[in-house]
Structure 1
Amino acid sequence: MDTDVTEPDRTPLDRTPTDRPDRSERTEAGSGTASAFGSVGVVGAGAMGAGIAQVAARAGHAVTLVDAVPGAAERAVEGVGAALRRLVDKGRLGADEADAVLMRITPAGSLDALPECGLVIEAVPEDLDLKRRIFADLADLQPATTVLATNTSSIDIDAIADEVAEPERVLGLHFFNPPPVMALVEVVHGTRTARAFVEHATMLMRAWGKTPVRCSSTPGFIVNRVARPFYGEAQRIVESGVADPATVDWILRERGGFPMGPFELTDFIGQDVNLAVGTSVWEQTGHDERYAPTQLQRELVSRGRLGRKSGAGVYDYADGAAVGAEPDLDLAARLVGGPVETDPLARTLAMLVNEAVDLVARGEASVEDVDTAMRLGTRYPRGPVEWGREIGFDVVARQLTELDAAFPGGRYRPSPALTDGSLG
């Protein structure tokens, strides 16, 4: 559509669900890659599901977006249309292409409405029983060749596939929010997932313009597991009275190069959301002390101080900005470079490196995939294994030994991979 000519009263971007073209018209708009793979189903029309549907449709697939809540899928498609219009207004997408993308998405109210798909991605809330029911139904409704993927951020893939007759086709495709913007996708395999399906899904994510990383179904996968110390160490430092949140945030941001400090980031994410993910990892690891939630964060959530969305978290907010969050720069100068137990930066980096090399040593992901995941998924300035090489794995091991002596209990146990030479 040329913006210099008179436009009709309504364009395809303005269509309501009742006047969408039929499926054959939408399929013809797909790319060769998309037509070779077939239709895509997305189950769950929340922010993640709608975003994934948009990504798949932009890649050329005919997409059916399903939600059991009446009207939810239709509203999500309208939201995708609004998002596409914003891209057109910013000059990032042609109007004709935006029209074609939207025409490829069909809203539906039940799994029965899904056509035969090459891929179905579930993006419903993090409820294992709900996911199990959906996957059992999908296995009955879809051909045995359909890849069944979950967008879960932390639930075990084998547990989700427990009632699927062909568990070898169940895997995780963990997109990051917002899916149309974030490049990273964790491709997660369970113990029963077939290698061919993992390879297939990995290639498809590349065709969608994403950067896939592969890992086994370890608690939290790569990003949500390796990132736990970034939050946990900061909270423990503040709990012990070593420093205030604003000073810790300043140190991690200004001296460490992280895009946000741990307290401003958890306020942005939502203290309740961050606590839930951390608690899930802790429970799935048998209450390993490395992942134990802090009393500081539990109290924030119990008091309703959830962060920006509630107007108060670690910080109070007015007009979208934190109030009174001034760091103590003199204190920061004394802490950084001092003993590791009171140095927020050294302590956090040691734990991030330890977590990453331990994951690699267990064979759950490669060094390259771990570093890529943390750079893209959390915008860390370096991958943690790369950081470990820069600091020196022997230095990290010594720092952790000092922390373990200062705070016994197992949280700071060094990974054997730091000193056994396996990482080169």
Structure 2
Amino acid sequence: MTVMTAQSGTPLDHVLLQHPGDVPVAVIGAGAMGSGIAQVAAQAGHPVVLVDAQPDAADRAVERLGATLDRLVAKGRLEAAQARDVLGRVRPHTASDMSTVPAVALVVEAVVEHLDVKRAIFRQLESAQPATTVLATNTSSLSIDAMVQEAHTGHDAASYGGTSPALARPGQVLGLHFFNPPPLMRLVEVISGSATDGQVLDAAGELMRRWGKTPVRCTSTPGFIVNRVARPFYGEAQRMVEEGIADPATLDLALRRAGFRMGPFELTDLIGQDVNLAVGESVWRQTGEDPRYAPTDWQRALVREGRLGRKTGRGVFTYAEDGSATDAAPDEQLAQRLVGGPVHQDPVARTLAMLVNEGVDLVHRAEATAEDVDTAMRLGTNYPKGPFEWLEELGAGTVRSVLTELDAHYPGGRYRRSEAL
């Protein structure tokens, strides 16, 4: 089968682009993300093996998928026959040893964000799967290169006498980062390691389009596009609370008025403070503890105290049983005064300048295109605009001026300007 890649316009033959019924997919991990990815693949026509190491976890996930499909039928979004077909394509499989996973064309790993665990899974899969099998990770921030390279330390290294060997076929490995929930979120980051084969990347991107997704390309930079560029949205607001400039509800209001669907505090309470902090810590460590990405002690304290957000009933705010915040009343007058005031007290100016700076720097390092950065931030975070759209609206001079003022007020490197600005 010959298709034309959307980006290059060159002929492309690849196993992933055969008829979906002839392209079996395995999803490793039957949690919310893995189950959602399995649903997307099955709805696109692929036979899917849903794998989990925990007894009955995959079976329970398939039962939940059946209930989800029934709801879609009840809402008129799916025909009953289609729902039966989709569910019939998903087969649960319990295995702690990935060498027992049946032969497939594509594996999407969606387990815990732990590098050693992912390395061990990939090594088992590579040893047992056909040479043509593409291995993808759904990691949100971990390095693709680190997964395929030799490791001398770590939990999985013990089974190899202290060294975990490099993968033999690193060209077949890439990242496919879906966003939660996968059936609803359109964005998929297609992430290349330094050794990933270009044809594999093209085929994976085309496959995501066939699954109804919008793929964006990125190199394996820490946090990729969304989780790297978005760090200031959370970090600036948290620092302003630490400084006593405003309370969280007021800062949320100011940023919602600027067009953001949710403020940073209500959003991190929804995501989970522990989840958001873990991604921030990962990006910070992978960038050599760059002050641009330093997590705040304020958020660390929330996590230490178990205030993880809606899932625990209390995070930045306290939540009623229906999920509504009971203590999130903003000071509307203060929110209005802050915007347009001194730069270090203006949550909108600080946030937009830093988002633009991150996006520009990512493109300057040739890790993604400006178009893909804007697309990723609009679809992955529901921002009203992408960094380059804001850059065009604000002007590079304004962004430089805000960053220069912030750098003078808070020396230390967090607000250094991208060379491209």
Q: TM-score, normalised by structure 2?
A: 0.90
Q: Matches of 2:189 and 2:114 in 1, distance apart?
A: 19
Residues 269 and 337 of structure 1: is their aligned pair in 2 closer, same or farther, counting only changes over 3 Å?
same
Whether 1:70 and 2:73 are equivalent positions in the alignment is no
Matched ranges for 1:11-410 at <5 A? 33-36=19-22, 38-110=23-95, 111-162=98-149, 163-254=166-257, 256-319=258-321, 320-410=323-413
- Given that 1:39 and 1:115 are in contact with CA atoms closer than 8 Å, whether structure 2 keeps it comes out as no
Q: Matches of 1:32 and 1:360 in 2, distance apart?
A: 33
Deviation at 1:197, TM superposition (A): 0.5
Q: Matches of 1:133 and 1:237 in 2, distance apart?
A: 41
Deviation at 1:316, TM superposition (A): 1.3
- Give the aligned residue type for 2:127: D
- Given that 2:268 and 2:276 are in contact with CA atoms closer than 8 Å, whether structure 1 keeps it comes out as yes
> 1:210-254 CA deviation, whole Å, 9 max, x = no partner?
000000000000000000000000000111011111110000012
Q: Matches of 1:324 and 1:176 in 2, distance apart?
A: 29
> 1:355-383 CA deviation, whole Å, 9 max, x = no partner?
01000100000001000000000000001
> 1:45-84 CA deviation, whole Å, 9 max, x = no partner?
1111111111000000111111111111111111111111
2:158 is matched with which residue? none
- Give the aligned residue type for 1:215: C
Deviation at 1:132, TM superposition (A): 0.5
- Given that 2:99 and 2:124 are in contact with CA atoms closer than 8 Å, whether structure 1 keeps it comes out as no
- Give the aligned residue type for 1:33: H
- Given that 1:184 and 1:210 are in contact with CA atoms closer than 8 Å, whether structure 2 keeps it comes out as yes
Q: Matches of 1:50 and 1:413 in 2, distance apart?
A: 41
Q: Matches of 1:122 and 1:387 in 2, distance apart?
A: 35
Q: Matches of 1:148 and 1:294 in 2, distance apart?
A: 35
SS state at 2:19 partner: helix
Q: Matches of 1:87 and 1:219 in 2, distance apart?
A: 37
Deviation at 1:35, TM superposition (A): 3.0
Q: Matches of 2:111 and 2:335 in 1, distance apart?
A: 43
Q: Matches of 1:297 and 1:270 in 2, distance apart?
A: 11
Structure 1 unmatched ranges of 5 or more? 1-30, 419-424
Q: Matches of 1:324 and 1:74 in 2, distance apart?
A: 40
Deviation at 1:322, TM superposition (A): 1.0
- Give the aligned residue type for 2:142: I
- Give the aligned residue type for 1:44: G
SS state at 2:337 partner: helix
SS state at 2:216 partner: strand
- Given that 1:33 and 1:207 are in contact with CA atoms closer than 8 Å, whether structure 2 keeps it comes out as no
SS state at 1:317 partner: coil
SS state at 1:318 partner: coil
1:5 is matched with which residue? none
Structure 2 unmatched ranges of 5 or more? 1-16, 150-165
Give the root-mean-square deviation of aligned CA atoms: 1.1
Deviation at 1:115, TM superposition (A): 2.7
1:7 is matched with which residue? none
- Give the aligned residue type for 1:225: R
Deviation at 1:159, TM superposition (A): 0.9
Deviation at 1:398, TM superposition (A): 1.1
SS state at 1:322 partner: coil
Q: Matches of 1:100 and 1:330 in 2, distance apart?
A: 55
SS state at 1:315 partner: coil
Q: Matches of 2:312 and 2:338 in 1, distance apart?
A: 32
- Given that 2:138 and 2:178 are in contact with CA atoms closer than 8 Å, whether structure 1 keeps it comes out as yes
Q: Matches of 1:212 and 1:340 in 2, distance apart?
A: 36
Deviation at 1:113, TM superposition (A): 4.0
- Give the aligned residue type for 2:405: E
Deviation at 1:114, TM superposition (A): 2.8
Q: Matches of 2:357 and 2:343 in 1, distance apart?
A: 15
Q: Matches of 1:39 and 1:115 in 2, distance apart?
A: 9
> 1:111-167 CA deviation, whole Å, 9 max, x = no partner?
344332111111110111111111001111111111100000011001111231100
Q: Matches of 2:339 and 2:299 in 1, distance apart?
A: 24
1:26 is matched with which residue? none
Percent identity between the two aligned chains: 66
Deviation at 1:33, TM superposition (A): 3.0
- Given that 2:99 and 2:127 are in contact with CA atoms closer than 8 Å, whether structure 1 keeps it comes out as no
Q: Matches of 1:126 and 1:306 in 2, distance apart?
A: 18
